[in-house]
């Protein structure tokens, strides 16, 4: 059998299958905008300031101090 160069070989037809699952398109407004980030940042800062005021108040501070003192004085 004589040698045939690759250029003379017959090419098989390709059988491309369509993709069975199509991904849904995301809406153009996906994610938060800059204004929403700003509002979220201000709200988080306000909540942090409120929690700081509560934790540093005399009532909570004395309760935490008492809790730590009881834990350190507990018998082993």
Q: What is the 3-state secondary structure (H, E, C) of the chain?
A: CCCCCHHHCCCCCCCCCCCCCCCCCCCCCCCCCHHHHHHHHHHHHHHHHHHHHHHCCHHHHHHHHHHHHHHHCCCC
Task: Determine, yes or no, domain membership for 71.
Answer: yes
Task: Determine, yes or no, domain membership for 21.
Answer: no
Average pLDDT rounded to a whole number, residues 63-70: 93
Task: Determine, yes or no, domain membership for 70.
Answer: yes
Written as six digits, the tokens of 47 are: 């909540």
Q: What percent of the chain has pLDDT over 90?
A: 43
Checking if the pLDDT of 73 tops 70, the result is yes
pLDDT band at 74 (very low <50, low <70, confident <90, very high): confident
Query: What is the pLDDT at residue 36?
Result: 87
Query: What is the pLDDT at residue 3?
Result: 60
Structure pTM? 0.46
Task: Determine, yes or no, domain membership for 56.
Answer: yes
Q: Give the structural domain span for 52.
A: 33-76
Task: Determine, yes or no, domain membership for 50.
Answer: yes
Work out how many domains the chain is built from and give that number.
Answer: 1
Task: Determine, yes or no, domain membership for 19.
Answer: no
């Amino acid at each position: 059998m004589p040698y045939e160069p690759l250029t003379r070989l017959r090419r098989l037809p390709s059988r491309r299958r369509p993709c069975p699952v199509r991904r849904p398109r995301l809406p153009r407004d996906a994610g938060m905008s800059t204004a929403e980030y700003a509002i979220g940042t201000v709200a988080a800062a306000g909540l942090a300031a409120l929690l700081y005021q509560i934790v540093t108040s005399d009532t909570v501070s004395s309760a935490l101090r008492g809790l730590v003192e009881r834990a350190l004085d507990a018998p082993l």
